Amino acid sequence: MSATETTPEITDSHCHLDFPDFEGQLDDIVARACRAGVTRMVTICTRLRNEPAVRAIAEAHPPVFYAAGTHPMSAATEPMATVEELTVLSKHPKFVGIGETGLDYHYTADSAEVQKQSLRIHIQAAQTTGLPLIVHARAADDDMARILSEEYRNAPYSCVMHCFSSSAELARAALDLGFYLSMSGIAAFPKSQDLRNIFAAAPLDRILVETDAPYLAPPPHRGKRNEPAYTAHTARKGAEVFGIDYSEFAAQTQANFDRLFAKVVRFRAAA
């Protein structure tokens, strides 16, 4: 890219800037992201007791927005969230999503029933607030598809399957409900061709990109700490998957993000 060309803008739709990996470095982290074209970031609170610290990060950094919920792997050890609690938190102007929530039976199958209860509470909060649900799914495809569908029949809501790396069947179930799939660094790993095929079969207007930083850094940074700037590497792989120019893929994922996270657009318009 020549110096006269503008770097396409993209959004890191899911990162964890409150994690110790970034302590004392957030100014530099955000600045590097912006230089890479990552002009917006959604930092995710995974335990509601940490919400004040995550909120403070969003308040201190104009490109950063936030969401909050109880991660499924913590559902059994954290106080159960309530719809009322999540609804109150959602009043903050930079609070833009509910979660992450979901089901994870890979390491924490013993808490499956508590996870299901927590997931349904978060879905109800998304239905109540109109904010998108942010879902973590691992080794729980059947239960996940069933609960998402059951609750959608009760009342529609919007949703992103964050860091999607599950089956083609769960992808189709989510897409059939009008939900979005978010592409993380996993999709750029050399051995992830099956996952890339799932994304390639999805509608382009239903794709987001993310880092899940500090985890899952894409090549050429694999094995190192991930950070929002590296969303650009995943997005370039995404452009390859869909067979389009990077600028076109970036513009489409921006439009997708704006559609799903409409509160971000409203906040910026009012600023």
**Rounded mean pLDDT, 43-51:** 98
pLDDT per position as a tens digit, 1-23: 433 358 999 999 999 999 999 99
pLDDT per position as a tens digit, 252-271: 999 999 999 999 999 989 98
Binding residues for a divalent metal cation: 14, 16, 100, 136, 162, 212
Q: Which of 139, 151, 216, 150 is nearest to 182 (CA)?
A: 216
What is the four-CA torsion angle of 40, 133, 129, 152, rounded to 10 degrees?
Answer: 150
Rounded to 5 degrees, what angle do the CA atoms 190, 191, 194 make?
115
**Rounded mean pLDDT, 200-218:** 98
Instruction: Tell me how far CA of residue 163 lies from CA of 24, 53, 188, in angstroms.
Output: 26, 23, 12
Amino acid at 5: E
60 CB-side CA count, 13 A: 14
Predicted local distance difference test score (pLDDT) of residue 15: 98
Structure tokens at 19: 């994690």
Binding residues: 14, 16, 100, 136, 162, 212
Residue 209 scores a pLDDT above 90: yes
Predicted local distance difference test score (pLDDT) of residue 5: 59
Instruction: Give, to the nearest 10 degrees, the angle between helix 168-176 and helix 193-200.
Output: 20
Residues 249/36, Cβ–Cβ less than 8 Å: no
Whole-model pTM? 0.96
The CA distance from 32 to 61, in Å, is: 13
Residues paired with 98 in a beta bridge = 68, 133
CATH topology for 10-270?
A: TIM Barrel (3.20.20)
Residue 167 scores a pLDDT above 70: yes
pLDDT per position as a tens digit, 80-133: 999 999 999 999 999 999 999 999 999 999 999 999 999 999 999 999 999 999
